[in-house]
Structure 1
Amino acid sequence: MDYTIGIDIGTTSTKAVLYDRDMKVAAYANKGYSMYQDTTGMVEEDQEEILDAVISVFKQLMENVDLTYNDVKVVSFSSANQSLIALDKDFHSLTRTQTWGDTRSNKYAQKLKGTKLGHKIYENTGTPIHPMNLLCKILWLKNERPNIYNKAAYFCGIKEYVLYRLFGIWQMDVSIASGTGLYNIFKLQWDPDALNIVGITEKQLPPVVDAYEQFRGMKTEYAQMINCPAGVVFVQGAFDGALSNLGVGAVDDGIVAVTIGTSGAVRVVTNHPIIDTKERTFCYAIDKQHFVIGGSVNNGGVVFRWARDNLFDSEKHTAKFLKVNSYELLTSIASKIPAGSAGLLFHPFLGGERAPLWDANARGSFFGLNQMHTRAHMLRAVLEGIVYNLYTVLLTLEEIIGKSKEIRVTGGFAQSEFCCQMIADIFGKTIKVPKDFESSCLGASIIGMRSVRKTDSLKDISDLGDNPKKYVTNSRNSKVYHELLLIYMRLTEELETEYQDIADFQRKNNSIND
């Protein structure tokens, strides 16, 4: 039996999954790492800690596989998109890893957004002008940290750094490149206009390779540490969101992948780039022949965690004492409240927002709160607000590509039957939830398999997964939700005019992190 491994270098942890020939999970490993938010807008991580996590999960899998009769044939990589590390001429780090959630470059994004040049950059790169992308992050370094910017010989993201440390290779896959805001997705090359804005050359960025690029030769010190078998083929892979589509089999026209983990996203796959004239959606590559169009949101499970930590602290401790999952305890509380939370709405923009607003100044709010509402109502409203926001992303996407035929859901929310039913009711469609919840790891393995087996179709491999579980819309709940959604969307539009002022006030008083 031949094994494949998918390694996903995620925002909060690195996951690794060992799959057998039939794409069944044979072993799983996960290791988290710290996040640094020392100043307003900062969301950084330590790349050395992440490298250690990659080594650790790989090693754990090797300890769980019998190599007497079985071989690991291919290892492929997934990673979070839009991270930035500045390196000196010897490839030593000058910074920690700025994650996609870092908003310190918002001032420079705002100056560029809405201009002719900014629109041209979006049209060329498919990446909305936003603090998440490398274009804005490098602008921030140039203006706010000139000592680092001037020393920087190279710039990369976390996957490129990890692969350089493990293998000594210096390259970036087309998928990660397409999310930088610096890469022309039509010409498949670094964009001269974008590079000119940030004042760097393409020599300061890694050469771009396809997702199927193969390499071997892990450095001896790491190969011995991991007990990595000789002869394993390593494959470059792509970014986690694109790979999630492959992992849930959402590769045909009209099949939409919805991911709700720490953040969230709605995506569809096409065989050519599609740009929204209103700049509401992204268009990123999977490989050089396939693209994902959609929108990512900042506020997924991280908002659920906020509610747990700030509204249900005692229940969190109770769950720990009882040795039960705190999120399962909270969803059981929320399930006692009828759909619609008795008219309580929640805008989940606690960390600014990407799609559909693309506004780092966006802020969260409860609306409709009255004396009859309880903490349980607030909790259910928080969960509904997360899904309402993703539904508005779907509406935007359908405006561009046409009506969706099927919704496939993955991520942490997909592990909760209550949350899955809520998604089906708010979206007003039957949803399918694959059993393999680590869809980015599975997607990475699919890329690896296609690379070594030269399979023509991504769909042929992505259909190998288990039969998904279906959730059918509850028409009564759906009617309630769609009445409230009209209010939710009108209110979102009205509040947009106030986000700048309240965000400026908060920054001035340093009362919260962006």
Structure 2
Amino acid sequence: MDYFIGVDVGTTSTKAVLYNKNATVLDQFSEGYSLYRDATGMAEQDPVAIVEAVEKVIHDAAARANLANGKLLAVSFSSANQSVIMLDNNFNPLSRVITWADTRAREVATELKQSPAGQQIYAKTGTPIHPMSPLTKIMWLHKTKPEIVNKTAYFGDIKSYLFYHFFNTFKVDVSIASCTGMMNVNTCDWDEQALGLAKVSRKQLPEIVNGTTQETGLTPTAQANMNIPADTPFIYGAFDGALSNLGVGAIKQNTVAITIGTSAGVRVVTDHPVIDPQQRLFCYAVDKGLWVIGGPLNNGGDVYQWAVEHLVDASAVKNENIDPYTLANQVIAGVPAGAHGLLFHPFLGGERAPLWDANARGSFFGLSQMHTRADMLRAVMEGICMNIATVFQAVRDLVGEPASVTATGGFARAEVWRQMLADVLNCPVNIPNSFESGCLGAITMAMKGLGLIDNYEIITSLIGDISSYQPNQEAVSVYQNYLPLFQQVEGLLTPAYSTIAKLQQQATH
């Protein structure tokens, strides 16, 4: 039997999925690490811990495979995007990995966004001006950590750092490069204006390669740690969101992919770059002739988790000996659409799309004495879905009416979530029964890189069973009245977010 290993390098853990050559999942392995939040807005990782985790899961997956009677055809990578790591002349880390979730470049981003240069950069790179963007992170580092920047020979991301460790070569796939805010989406090369703003030269950045590019010839250390043949092809792959689209078969303009995990995302693949004149959405390159348009949302399952912790009756959980999430879903299913006239804006962690405002905060609107904790729970879930619907509408405005939505993530295990999403979007929702879409997308890129397939159409035959949900027209008509109000209130509150964020900051000092 021959094998593939798909590796997904995430924010708090790395996962490896072992597949046979027909893309059937054989096993999976995971290794966690810390996310450091030592200061307000900080979200950093230890690069050495990530290298060790990646090597361990690949080692464990390879040990599970029977390589005595088969071959490891390739290892291919999915990773979180928009990380920054400063490296010295020998590619040793001068900093921890500053992740996408780090918001300390908030003031730099606000200033740039309001300037003509910010609008020009967005139009050329397709990356919204926001603290998550490596462009604004590097600008912030120049202002706040000049002593480290002055020693920095190279600026990389976690994947280019990993590949340097494996192969002594400094390269980055086009999709990760596209997410930096420094790559021109039309030329797929570093943009001189953006480099000028970041005060970096192209010599300090990795070489941009296609995601199907392969490296062979592992360094002796990496080869020993993973215990796999040194000539095993390693494929660069892409960032996790783009690969989730590939992994669920959402590879045409009429299929939107939605992920609701801790955070959330709405994405559609096109055959040409599409820039949003209102700067609500990103436009990133994925592979030759493929771009992904969409919006990432900070607030997904983590907001629901907050609501369950604070709004579910602890004594009921204990008395009925039931999981609190199962109980919450049962409670929500008993409340009608619209939560008796209660709206919730789910911006507990600031927000990326559609607001791109790190100061955004959550709120209930319409709360009265008649409302119960059950109404509030339902309003939270509906608020998450309505926020997704706002980004979904923006995608629809730019690329046209979708035929369907394919949705994945932890939320997809709950029936009430699935139906609510179909109702709020007023669009059929398909849920693949396989949840490992990022790693499946990665190994599909490996198949293409190795010449085993010509295009990504094969993915539709690899996905397996799908559950479909049609919109309930009674609920649809309720949400079509509530969604414009949700957006109106969002617009009214937006000017106040920076003030409340400052007051909260003062209150915590």
- Which residue is equivalent to 2:476? 478
Within 5 Å, give how 1:453-472 maps onto structure 2: 453=451, 455-472=453-470
What are the within-5 Å matches in structure 2 for residues 403-414 of structure 1? 403-414=401-412
**C-alpha separation in 2, matches of 1:251 and 1:75:** 22
Whether the aligned pair in 1 keeps the contact of 2:301 and 2:411 (CA below 8 Å) is yes
Q: Which moved more, 1:20-29 or 1:181-190?
A: 20-29
Distance 1:455-1:487 versus aligned 2 partners, 3 A rule: same
Q: What is the alpha-carbon distance in structure 1 between the residues aligned to residue 301 and residue 226 of structure 2?
A: 32
Give 1:113 shift: 0.6
Q: SS of the counterpart of 1:373?
A: coil
Map 1:235-246 → 2, pairs under 5 A: 235-246=235-246
Q: Residue by residue, what CA displacement relative to the aligned partner does 1:454-473 show, whole Å, maximum 9, x if unpaired?
A: 53221234442213111121
Distance 1:42 1:51 in 2: 21
Asked if the contact 1:281/1:293 (under 8 Å) is kept, the reply is: yes
Instruction: Please name the residue that 2:438 is paired with.
Output: 440
Residue 313 of structure 1: how far off its partner (Å): 8.9
Contact 1:254 1:404 in 2 (8 A): yes
Aligned-pair Cα RMSD in Å:
2.1
Using the aligned pairs only, state the percent identity: 47
2:394 corresponding residue in structure 1: 396
The runs of 4+ residues in structure 1 deviating greater than 6 Å are none
Secondary structure in 2 matching 1:453: coil
Cross-structure match for 1:375:
373
Q: Is the 8 A contact 1:9 1:80 kept in 2?
A: yes
The corresponding residue for 1:425 is 423
* Contact 2:247 2:459 (8 Å CA) reproduced: no
Q: How far, CA to CA, are the matches of 1:6 and 1:346 in structure 2?
A: 38
**Inter-CA distance 416–57: structure 2 relative to 1 (3 Å threshold):** farther
1:491 counterpart residue number: 489
SS at match of 1:8: strand
Aligned to 1:61: 61
Please list, as runs of the form range in 1=range in 2, the aligned pairs for 1:5-404 lying within 5 A after superposition: 5-312=5-312, 314=314, 326-404=324-402
Q: Is the 8 A contact 1:195 1:202 kept in 2?
A: yes
Q: Which amino acid aligns with 2:287?
A: D
133-142 vs 231-240, greater mean Cα deviation: 231-240
* SS of 1:342 mapped into structure 2: coil
Contact 1:309/1:316 (8 A) holds in 2 = no
Aligned partner letter, 1:5: I
User: Contact (CA 8 Å) 1:24, 1:465: kept in 2 or not?
Assistant: no
Letter aligned with residue 6 of structure 1:
G
> Offset of 1:339 from its aligned partner?
2.4
Letter in 2 for 1:241: G
Query: Which amino acid is the alignment partner of residue 147 of structure 2?
Result: N
| Contact persistence 1:254–1:406 (CA under 8 A) | yes
Q: How many corresponding residue pairs?
A: 509
Cα 1:463–1:286 change in 2 (3 A) is farther
Could you list the per-position Cα deviations for residues 200-222 of structure 1 after superposition, in whole angstroms to 9, with x for gaps in the alignment?
11111111111011111223333
SS across alignment from 1:16: strand
**3-state SS of 1:7 partner:** strand
Instruction: After superposition, give the CA deviation of every residue in 1:433-465 in whole Å (9 maximum; x if it has no partner).
Output: 112212111100110011112532212344422
Contact 1:446 1:462 in 2 (8 A): no
Measured in 2, the distance between the counterparts of 1:68 and 1:318 equals 51
* Partner Cα separation in structure 1 for residue 97 and residue 314 of structure 2: 34
Q: Which moved more, 1:372-381 or 1:152-161?
A: 372-381
Q: Secondary structure of 1:222's partner?
A: helix
The Cα offsets for residues 35-91 of structure 1, whole Å up to 9 and x where unpaired, read as: 222221112222222222212222221232222333221110010110111112221
Q: Which moved more, 1:495-504 or 1:331-340?
A: 331-340
Contact 1:308/1:316 (<8 A) preserved: no
C-alpha distance 120-307 of structure 1, shift in aligned 2 (>3 A): same
Could you tell which deviates more after superposition, 22-31 or 335-344?
A: 335-344
User: Which structure's relative contact order is higher, taking Cα pairs within 8 Å and 6+ residues apart?
Assistant: 1
Query: Per the alignment, do residues 184 and 342 of structure 1 end up closer, same or farther by CA in structure 2, a change over 3 Å counting?
Result: same
- In structure 2, the CA distance between the partners of 1:57 and 1:380, relative to structure 1 (3 Å rule), is farther
Counterpart of 2:425 in structure 1: which amino acid?
F
| 8 Å Cα contact 1:186-1:273 kept in structure 2 | yes
Unaligned runs of 5+ in 1: none
TM-score of the two chains, using structure 1 as the length reference? 0.94
Give, in whole Å, the separation in 2 of the partners of 1:347 and 1:461.
Answer: 36
| Distance change (3 Å), C-alpha of 1:510 and 1:152 | farther
The whole-number CA distance in structure 1 between the counterparts of 2:325 and 2:207 is 43
1:314 Cα deviation after fit: 4.1
The one-letter code sitting in structure 2 at the alignment partner of 1:226 is M
Aligned 8 A contact 2:351 2:357 in 1: yes
1:216/1:233 contact within 8 Å kept: yes
